[in-house]
Structure 1
Amino acid sequence: MTAQPIPAAPDLDLLPSDVETDLRRSVRAVLAKTCPTEALVALADGTDEVSGPAWSALAHDLGLAALLVPEEHGGAGAGPREAAVVAEECGRACAPVPFLTSAVLATSLLVRLGAAEPLARLGEGTTAALVVPAGTGSAGAWARRAGVEVSGGRLVGEVRGVVGLPADLLLVPVDGPDGAALHLVPADADGVTVSTHTSLDATRSVSDVRLDLEAGTPLATGDQVTAALDHALATAAGVLAAEQAGLAAWCLEQTVAHLSERRQFGRVVGGFQALKHRLADLYAEVGQASAVAAHAAAALAGETDVPVSVAVAQAFCSEVAVHAAEEAVQLHGGLGMTWESPVHLRLKRAKADHVLLGSPDAHRDNLARLVDLPAPTPEAG
């Protein structure tokens, strides 16, 4: 039997453009001002004085709410590469903003469906949330957990673990006997109840949504909803990988800086060989995560080899972010265990992101199917 040749990988340019470099510089400067450590720690204590100013600065001052909105609908008409740059900086800053959930996930879904009026509103700063449970990585995964239906002309049901609320608009997918449909519901409409819970990651809340209202005319129906949902979830997963890579890079940089200053037994702690080895290993992981995330963004922008690139990025970057945050907590010593330190915020964000759009295991299973890798079989006894 002759082995089939492996197709050549697409030729993607992973180097940042001048536009992306300028965008990164602008976003980092804004988040440095709007997301100081003390404000993030206060957010974890229940006092939110950072989410509104941070999102206003990104959405209105920099116009990033409209980043992925096409120009014909009043947006910037940018693509996944630019979105990945913003997400990476949001990950570094642990920014409590709905960029991923509204400006990427919801916007990508509406762009695919060609929904002009909602897109124009999102471009002006209106926020939207896709009402699916956290951990949903594909339309198939959503269909198995769909909690909303149309019954007697009413939209009824409950979806638990929705990320991205509060928001102005709810994008509610429904899987019924006539196929999938997407309903656009104002979050403040009668019959909408949102219950927000205390979550591990205080910078990205988790809510339950209960609906019981007139269904009205859906925004879209049929196979186009399923295809658009798959596209939007893949785009968000690829951009999330950039956020995770940015978070991991921050953890590495802060840990190196701390160990370069901390002294013990009369010498700088970072000079100990065992710590050097751990930092070297982490440096390699973070560099690989950045490259993998950049590849996923480039693949999304070129619409080339997207499923494989996104699956690889999520399977790898999710675990690197958690490992980098865990190492940061431990290598900061007693300081890393304190509430006032920003390190624990990154660990919680990394843990929440780990399963936000599908677990690493789920993405590895998907990757195995994509590359036709058979599952292992038990050895015959």
Structure 2
Amino acid sequence: MKISQTEEQTLLSQSISRYLADRYDDAARRRAEAQACGYDRDTWTEIAELGWLGASVGESAGGFGGPREMAIVLEGAGRAMMAEPLVTACLALSILEAADPSHGSLPGLLSGNSMACGLAAQAGSGLSVTGRNGSRVLSGRFPTVHAGAAADLLVLALPDIAVALDPAARGIDMRAFRGMDGRRYADIVFRDVPLDDGSVLCEGETARPVADRASQVFSVATAAEASGIAARLFEETLAYVAQREQFGQPIGRFQALQHRLADMYVAVEEARSLALAAARSAEDDEAPGRAVSQAVVGTVDRALHVAKEAIQLHGGVGMTEDLPLGAGLRRIKVLQLMPGGAEDHRKRLTT
């Protein structure tokens, strides 16, 4: 499947590639992961100024893009394996755009002066809103939120209500931890968190489309990032087999390895096409369904295949931290296993 880009989308992609080539290498990623908040705040401000965050929402919310532009940003971030919480931030912006495009937090979020984490909770997630003593309260647990402990705002989309909460509000507890991919996450527990009119973005019948949109955006972001990681690991492998010699010639000349490289190339192109197809579906405002789930599962499965093959073709050096292969594999596993990730989509396809 070939999905062409507009001139503006091509310029956005080129701008992202130039920035990452000049400013964000593997050493920068490791420095960002080592920060107390789990990412580099200066980098966050820079990419916001370059419009990366604005690419995820339309003009009505102060941005200039939508799902396809967001996919371009996340694919680029995936290539660099950026530690910055772009997926959760783009999700938060998309929820705000769908629920209240004039929300007062949007200018600060788009400028990078603050950071919001979006949470897309499906039916059966364990989060619920109930009435208590004449008011409404939010209860439940949402696990594995990237940079959740560093967020200035939590934006939740449930099937029957969407809310924006101060992380310091009474009843919100967080357990911060480092994930297998080296990034900082938080398990967030809501214990009878009071909801007032100021925190409720929308509810009732108007909340269902917002929740659907949130699920769709998170799926597109997951697929786009996975496709970017796969492309990076394939490029690393091509460069390695061209310079690693055995029996007096580069190992890339061996036919058996060329066959495996060809399979990797096909997987990378399929992953990218599936991610872009998911973005196009979201752009057309199609309801999230089997097609989106198939795109996420297919993209992550192919990225995982590429990562494993990349390590195999590098040999023992592929397991060292000197190369980005291990980091890429671990990140793909997180995209596979996290709430709303590829395995959750696989379960939907089999039920």
Report the TM-score when normalising by structure 1.
0.81
Aligned pair partner of 1:146 in 106, 127, 131: 127
Pairwise CA distance, 1:265 = 2.4
Q: Determine the structure 2 residue equivalent to 1:130.
A: 118
Question: What CA distance in whole angstroms lies between the structure 1 residues aligned with 2:39 and 2:117?
Answer: 20
Q: Determine the structure 2 residue equivalent to 1:376.
A: none
Residue 337 of structure 2 aligns to a residue whose secondary structure is: coil
Aligned pair partner of 1:348 in 307, 330, 341: 330
Task: Kindly provide the CA deviation profile for residues 166-213 of structure 1, in whole angstroms up to 9, marking residues without a partner as x.
Answer: 2110124567xxxx323321123354332211211224x321123344
Give the conservation status (yes or no) of the 8 Å contact 1:147–1:159: no
Q: Matched residue pairs, number?
A: 343
Aligned partner letter, 1:195: R
Question: What CA distance in whole angstroms lies between the structure 2 residues aligned with 1:312 and 1:280?
Answer: 23
Question: What CA distance in whole angstroms lies between the structure 2 residues aligned with 1:194 and 1:34?
Answer: 32
Give the conservation status (yes or no) of the 8 Å contact 1:91–1:244: yes
Give the conservation status (yes or no) of the 8 Å contact 2:267–2:303: no
Aligned partner letter, 2:3: L
Q: Matches of residues 139-178 of structure 1 in structure 2 within 5 Å?
A: 139-140=122-123, 143-146=124-127, 151-152=132-133, 153=135, 154-165=137-148, 166-173=150-157
Pairwise CA distance, 1:22 = 0.9
Q: Determine the structure 2 residue equivalent to 1:71.
A: 59
Task: Kindly provide the CA deviation profile for residues 286-320 of structure 1, in whole angstroms up to 9, marking residues without a partner as x.
Answer: 11111121222122222357534312210100111
Corresponding position: 1:320 with 2:302 = yes
- Describe the shift of the 1:263–1:55 C-alpha distance in structure 2 as closer, same or farther (beyond 3 A): same
- Describe the shift of the 1:339–1:48 C-alpha distance in structure 2 as closer, same or farther (beyond 3 A): farther
- Describe the shift of the 1:147–1:345 C-alpha distance in structure 2 as closer, same or farther (beyond 3 A): farther
Question: What CA distance in whole angstroms lies between the structure 1 residues aligned with 2:304 and 2:332?
Answer: 5
Aligned pair partner of 1:267 in 241, 249, 252: 249
Pairwise CA distance, 1:75 = 2.4
Task: Kindly provide the CA deviation profile for residues 53-79 of structure 1, in whole angstroms up to 9, marking residues without a partner as x.
Answer: 33222112x122222333234322x11
Aligned pair partner of 1:87 in 74, 81, 93: 74
Question: What CA distance in whole angstroms lies between the structure 2 residues aligned with 1:41 and 1:119?
Answer: 29
Residue 332 of structure 1 aligns to a residue whose secondary structure is: helix
Aligned partner letter, 1:71: E
Give the conservation status (yes or no) of the 8 Å contact 1:170–1:185: yes
Corresponding position: 1:196 with 2:176 = yes
Return 5+ residue gaps in structure 1 as ranges.
1-11, 370-381
The percent of aligned pairs where both chains have the same amino acid is 30
Q: Determine the structure 2 residue equivalent to 1:7.
A: none
Corresponding position: 1:24 with 2:10 = no
- Describe the shift of the 1:215–1:127 C-alpha distance in structure 2 as closer, same or farther (beyond 3 A): same
Residue 92 of structure 2 aligns to a residue whose secondary structure is: helix
Residue 320 of structure 1 aligns to a residue whose secondary structure is: helix
Report the TM-score when normalising by structure 2.
0.87
Task: Kindly provide the CA deviation profile for residues 309-345 of structure 1, in whole angstroms up to 9, marking residues without a partner as x.
Answer: 3122101001111111111122112221112222111
Q: Matches of residues 1-381 of structure 1 in structure 2 within 5 Å?
A: 14-43=3-32, 51-60=40-49, 62-76=50-64, 78-103=65-90, 105-117=91-103, 118-125=105-112, 126-131=114-119, 139-140=122-123, 143-146=124-127, 151-152=132-133, 153=135, 154-165=137-148, 166-173=150-157, 180-203=160-183, 205-212=184-191, 213-217=193-197, 218-304=200-286, 307-356=289-338, 358-364=340-346, 366-367=348-349
Question: What CA distance in whole angstroms lies between the structure 1 residues aligned with 2:156 and 2:287?
Answer: 29
- Describe the shift of the 1:57–1:44 C-alpha distance in structure 2 as closer, same or farther (beyond 3 A): closer
- Describe the shift of the 1:73–1:311 C-alpha distance in structure 2 as closer, same or farther (beyond 3 A): closer
Residue 63 of structure 2 aligns to a residue whose secondary structure is: coil
Max radius of gyration: which structure?
A: 1
Deviates more, 1:192-201 or 1:317-326: 192-201
Deviates more, 1:291-300 or 1:182-191: 182-191
Task: Kindly provide the CA deviation profile for residues 66-106 of structure 1, in whole angstroms up to 9, marking residues without a partner as x.
Answer: 22333234322x11111111110011000112222112x11
Give the conservation status (yes or no) of the 8 Å contact 2:39–2:84: no
Residue 233 of structure 1 aligns to a residue whose secondary structure is: helix
Return 5+ residue gaps in structure 2 as ranges.
none
Pairwise CA distance, 1:249 = 0.8
Question: What CA distance in whole angstroms lies between the structure 1 residues aligned with 2:284 and 2:194?
Answer: 40
Residue 77 of structure 2 aligns to a residue whose secondary structure is: helix
Residue 53 of structure 2 aligns to a residue whose secondary structure is: helix
Question: What CA distance in whole angstroms lies between the structure 2 residues aligned with 1:44 and 1:327?
Answer: 26
Pairwise CA distance, 1:15 = 0.8
- Describe the shift of the 1:216–1:79 C-alpha distance in structure 2 as closer, same or farther (beyond 3 A): same
Residue 57 of structure 2 aligns to a residue whose secondary structure is: coil
Aligned partner letter, 1:107: L
Pairwise CA distance, 1:248 = 0.5
Pairwise CA distance, 1:253 = 0.9
